[in-house]
Amino acid sequence: MKSIKKCLFPAAGYGTRFLPATKSMPKEMLPIMTKPLIQYGVEEALSAGCVTMAIVTGRGKRAIEDHFDISYELEHQIKNTSKEHYLTEIRKLISQCTFTYTRQVEMKGLGHAILTGKSLIADEPFAVILADDLCDSKEKGVLSQMVEVYEKYGCCVVAIEEVPKEDTSKYGVIAGYKVDGRDDTYRVETMVEKPDPKDAPSNLAIIGRYILTPDIFEVIENTKAGKGGEIQITDALLEMAKQGKVIAYKFKGKRFDCGSVDGFVEATNYFYAKGDN
């Protein structure tokens, strides 16, 4: 079985919920304390064993590329000053992984964004992180936990959490049966993108962490536009689930929806209290 070495970051979205802050700044660069959201994602991917960060960007997103690069002017300015340590962590991160980029020219949904990343991934299993879902866990990161699940089942894995039933319309929602006598691992039988609470098959919501096998690309290519007229990864994964090829894993840890102002403030308070910077 091939190991997971690449992580895809769909990062072309507009971040309209954060306007005007995101008018000229990518939403992925919004900071929790002193670190942009996407850096938390890259750190989580690296600690799960990924060494290539494949980022699907779009217009107005160049700050992401500059962030994961050396700024010689800045380095020169702060060299041998008391401020130099502020760059230690990001310098180390840049030296440990490779960043590759492609642009999503049209916004046609998450499934389409993932398909756009095909040229960066090629024929191997890969992880997907949606940077605005910020996760924190005491021991292993959420993606590391999922890699272990992938190594056991060798198929697609989605991370899930229980949400209040009235919130199902914000997420992809799965239903399935528990496997191996575990309370946290399900073989997915069905999944629906953003169902009304009355139609939701459960309250188990997919969060922004996926492990996908490369056969997903062909499935996405054949997936018609779904909810909101967009090509949904949930619909493509449903096709895989029908063949028994999707596991849902209830991760250990906390997740913040930093795509919403409430979740963003909650995450800021949490990391501030924790003493991270």
Binding to ligand G1P (CB under 6 A) within 159-188 occurs at: 171-172
Q: Which range, of 87-95, 181-189, 199-207, 264-272, touches ligand G1P by CB under 6 A?
A: 199-207
The helix/strand count (H/E) of the chain reads as 10, 13
Which listed residue (28, 136, 193, 235) binds ligand G1P by CB under 6 A? 193
Which segment (46-54, 205-213, 241-249, 268-276) binds ligand G1P by CB under 6 A?
205-213
Give the dihedral sign, CA 265/270/273/275. Answer: negative
Instruction: Compare residues 16 and 269 and give the one whose CB is closer to ligand G1P.
Output: 16
- Please, what is the minimum distance in Å from the beta carbon of residue 194 to ligand G1P? 7
Question: Tokens representing 95?
Answer: 């030296």
Interaction between residue 235 and ligand G1P (CB under 6 A): no
Is 208 one of the binding residues for ligand G1P (CB under 6 A)? yes
Tokens of 15: 């971040």
Q: With beta carbons less than 8 A apart as the criterion, state whether 247 and 211 touch.
A: no
Exactly one of 11, 32, 54, 130 binds ligand G1P (CB under 6 A); that residue is 130
Q: Which two tokens stand for residue 257?
A: 């929806």
Spatial separation of the C-alpha atoms in residues 215 and 147, rounded to whole Å: 18
Interface with ligand G1P (CB under 6 A), residue total 12
Residue 158 in contact with ligand G1P, rule: CB under 6 A: no
Closest CA to 33 of 263, 262, 255, 265: 265
Q: Is 234 in the site for ligand G1P (CB under 6 A)?
A: yes
- Shorter beta-carbon distance to ligand G1P: residue 8 or 110: 110
Cβ-contact 219, 236 below 8 angstroms: yes
What are the residues whose beta carbons fall under 8 Å from the beta carbon of 240, sequence distance 6 or more? 155, 156, 213, 215, 216, 219, 246
Of positions 48, 110, 188, 219, contacts ligand G1P by CB under 6 A: 110
Q: Nearest distance from residue 40's CB to ligand G1P, in Å? A: 15
The 10 Å Cβ neighbour count of residue 187 is 17
The residue with its CB nearest to ligand G1P is: 172
C-alpha to C-alpha distance for 150 and 98, rounded to whole angstroms? 23
Nearest distance, CB of residue 77 and ligand G1P, angstroms: 38
* Cα 233 to Cα 83: distance, rounded to the nearest angstrom: 43
At its nearest, how many Å lie between ligand G1P and the CB of residue 81? Answer: 40
Catalog residues that contact ligand G1P under the rule CB under 6 A.
110, 130, 133, 171-172, 193, 205-208, 232, 234
